[in-house]
Structure formats: structure tokens, C-alpha cells
Amino acid sequence: MKIILGVSGGIAAYKAAELARLLMQQGHEVQAVMTDAAREFVQPLTFSALTGRKTLTNMFEVEHAIGHISVAQESDVLVIAPATADLMAKLAHGLAGDFLSTIYLAFTGPVVLAPAMNVNMWNHPATQANLETLRRRGHHIVEPESGYLACGMTGPGRLANPETIAAAVARAGAKRTDLEGETVLITAGPTQEPLDPVRYISNRSSGKMGYALAEAAVSRGARVILISGPVSIPAPRGVELVPVQTAVEMRDKVFENLEPAGIVIKAAAVADFHLSKVPDQKVKKTAARITLEFDPTPDILAELGRQKGDRLLIGFAAETQNLEREARRKLETKNCDMIVGNLVGGDLGFGSEDNEVALALRTGEVISLPRASKREIADRIFDEALKLRFALQAAHGR
């Protein structure tokens, strides 16, 4: 694996030399890139000696006129250790005043950031806001350790152990193919249930969680059939998109595409009620009150639970309270293998870039996943789903 090791200007820069050595020992090619401030703590010659490559410190040192582009395009992972508060602010806001931040903007692969700084700087709202921005981009954050800091204070801010950072780099750069040969059927987004030719009722689902699941499955080698209600985000590359509008349409398309699927994930927020008889003409506004009678929409997840066979069936439960209890209840009543429960409201759930969920499993286990980007949550869901399928197969002697 080809790795860019970015080193920014903090006292922990000397630990980046140990990280470079570890990465080289693991068989990776390492290209060190240092900021001017980093050079005040460690000499570029140190990294050149460890990596066997000239350490880059400014964009005019490379052979190509567009060196920052070529270095970015030739590499698999960008890791920055230490990542100072100043550097993370630049990355969060897209500033490119030096070679390292310019490479960052040109780099399209996985990014690993290992922050290190004074505890007050770490806790400052500006730093935490920048960190959240970087997390939402899907970057891997290796949290700093707590302890005695160079400034004499105690608390979070120490650069994580080089072995911990190296392990995060390995995870970020690993090409996962554990879903090769698998067909995954995913539903996403809201449904829109017409009230008349121009009005409808719906919900706040953005489709982002379902689309993140589709992107994760494709990246891991699966064929993905994505049945989506109306959303404003583009479908991930490589998926087979089936657009629908209503709950009835979604139900029909799910069962039309069910046969090849080995994993079914119902992430859509399907409306619970609809007008069974929609007026042909727009309902005019009058001074009189209007009463509408709604009928239940098809319970797609329950119907799948009755017909799933050997498929792994995963449902979602968006709740405002009693998350674990409701997830367990839905697991049983819908005959699912996993329910992904998430509390909605505030800055999580519908429309958010992040999620924080609890996985209720057929084995009786409940796994809590802390707040992370929806793309990271998607990969964790697949990790646990594959473990679960193996456990269920072993329990049934298959």
C-alpha cells in the first residue's frame, strides 16, 4: 500500500518517525510530507532515512509541475500524525496554503487523522466543530489519549500510540471483498402518499443512511439493488437504482427484485397510512374543515419476514424513546435477523450526516454503535451482519 504520511507542527511530531518505521516494517511504501512548522521539531532527513524517499516540504520540490496532484493520485491512504488544531481548521475549511493541505484537497482516498494538541485547544468549540466537519466527510479519526501533556496540563490531547495509528491506516486502506458474489437489496428514503394530484404526505427521511449502505455494499463487492423513494441525493456509482414514490410501489418493486437477494435491508421510512382513494382533481381550499380517512399501507417488512427463507433480513426502527425495547419488539414481530434502532430528533437521524444506533440481533445481543458518519455506520452494520449470518448458520448446522 502506498501511504502519504503528513506531519504537522506539534511536539508529537517526533512520534511520527516511529509511525513511519512501523508502516515501512509492515511492507508499505511511505512518502513523508512535512509542514514548515513540523520542521521546527523534526528534521526532514529523519523521515527520508526511514522511508528511503525524499521528504516533501513544499510543492516546488517535486519533479512535476503539479506535484501535489501526482503524489495524491499515486497514493492509497493519507494519514496525518500529528494533526494539529491549526491544520484541522485548514482541512475543514478547504484552505491550501502549504503542500500538505494542498495534497489533502487533491486526494480522493481514505484519510486518517491523529490529532494531538493542548487539552484546552482540543476541547475548544472551534476545534470540535472542525473535527465534526472532518468526521462527516468520512475521515477516520484516531482519538488522542489522555495523560500528562508537554504543556504541563493533564487531559486528552496526547497523540495516540503509533501502533494504534498504524492499525487504523491498515483498516482504512484495506480493500474489502467480503460481499463479492452477494446480491444486497436495500430500500431507502421516504415514500410520498398522494392526497390529490398536487399534494402528498411524507416524512423527513433524506435517504442518506440507505444510500450509505448501498455505497458500502458496492465498495465491498456486492451487487446492489437500491429501491428508493424520492430523495435529493445522487445514487452511488455501481448500484441498480429502482425509483418509486408510494408505499404500494415500493412493496411491488421489493418483491419483483427479491429472488436473487441474499441480504435485504429495509432502511426506507415507509409511510404508515395512505388515502386508498385519491381524488382525481385538486381539492379546493374552503372555509370548512376537512376530514381525511387513511388506510394502513402494506407492512413490507412483516411480509418479508414471513417470506425471507434463508435470507438475512435487516430492518430499521426510528424511535423517539425506548429505543432498545422498541428495537427488540420489532425484531420479534417482524421476524427480522437484525433491527437497526436509532433515536431521531435533534442533530441525529433524519437529514443528518451522522448516526448513532443500537443493533438488536436475533442472537439476543444488542450492540451500541457510537456517533459516526452514516458511511462508517453502514460498514459497521455489514460487519455485524456477516458475523450474525455466520453465527445463525453455525447454530443451524449449515
Residues 6+ apart with CB under 8 A from 184: 214, 217, 222, 223, 224, 225, 261, 262, 263, 264, 265
**Catalytically annotated residues:** 151
Tell me the residue type at 260: P
- Cα separations (Å) of 39 from 9, 340, 347? 7, 47, 40
Residue 131 in contact with residue 115, Cβ under 8 Å? yes
187 Cβ neighbours under 8 A, 6+ residues apart: 210, 226, 227, 228, 250, 254, 265, 266, 267, 268, 270, 300
The span from the CA of 70 to the CA of 65, in Å, is: 9
Q: Find the helix or strand (DSSP H, E) in which 47 lies.
A: helix 44-51
User: Quick count: other Cβ atoms within 10 Å of Cβ 25?
Assistant: 9
What sign results for the dihedral spanned by CA atoms 67, 70, 73, 75?
negative
